Amino acid sequence: MALNTSLPPEFDRGVVTTVHQGDCHVSAAPDVTFSTVLGSCVSACVRDRVANVGGMNHFLLAEQSGSAKDRYGASARYGAFAMEQLINKVLSQGTGNKANLEIKIFGGGKINSVLDDVGAKNIEFVRQFLIDEGYVSTSEDLGGTYARRVLFKPHSGRAFVKRLDSEVGASVAREELAVARRRVVVPTVVDDIELF
């Protein structure tokens, strides 16, 4: 991981796929870069270092609250599902050996006082999740009072983090606040049947 302001050349070419809240993408292609912007959100980058397969997720809330959890099941917006989904996808497309995984975690900034430090809760969640599952993060850039852009090359495992200025951070904070207030449940598709 590099903490820098200028983009390394390898991140400036190829296919860039944006990873939005609730997304989980996996690839083995050498020319693919995953990109996301994080405020309070957390993103994990998981890679099978033997198979050169990796992926990135992006979640805002560590867990569902009360009735939403009981009524709708898991949504990729929520941490446990997002982490399990990413790890399982990398394992299934890679060697299937958990010992070959390297995990990098990013985000969890306190960029909006209204969100009651969701970032700190997300950091606590992702660290505890990794401990509970027997993983150790190989690299991380967590916390702070700023938004950040994260770029990840799933084939090589290289990550690049750029801390963003306060204007961009304020925009990210507004978007996260809107999502947190809505707590919209993303429909789950099972065997071509859309469940709500």
Domain at 42, CATH number? 3.30.1330.200
Q: Which SS3 state, helix, strand or coil, does residue 59 take? A: strand
Position 135 pLDDT exceeds 60: yes
Q: How many CB atoms lie within 10 A of CB 194?
A: 8
What is the model's pLDDT at position 195?
37
**Residue tagged active-site, from 26, 32, 37, 41:** 41
Question: From residue 112, how far is each of 59, 75, 93, 164 by CA, in Å?
Answer: 16, 23, 37, 14
Alpha-helical (H) ranges within the chain are: 66-72, 79-93, 118-133, 166-182
Whether 24 is in a domain gets the answer yes
Whether 7 is in a domain gets the answer no
Whether 18 is in a domain gets the answer yes
Give CA angle at 108 (25, 32), nearest 5°: 25
Pair of tokens at residue 188: 């789950």
Whether 124 is in a domain gets the answer yes
Supply the range of the domain harboring residue 69.
12-182
Whether 109 is in a domain gets the answer yes
Which one is predicted more confidently, 70 or 167? 167
Whether 55 is in a domain gets the answer yes
Q: What is the pTM of this model?
A: 0.78
Q: Are strands 42-48 and 24-27 parallel, antiparallel or unpaired?
A: unpaired
The number of C-alpha atoms within 13 Å of 47 and in the hemisphere containing its C-beta is 23
The verdict on whether 45 is a catalytic residue reads no
What is the model's pLDDT at position 77?
56
Which one is predicted more confidently, 150 or 71? 150
Question: pLDDT band for position 97 (50/70/90)?
Answer: very high
Position 75 pLDDT exceeds 90: no
Whether 190 is in a domain gets the answer no
Q: Could you give the number of structural domains in the chain?
A: 1
Whether 27 is in a domain gets the answer yes
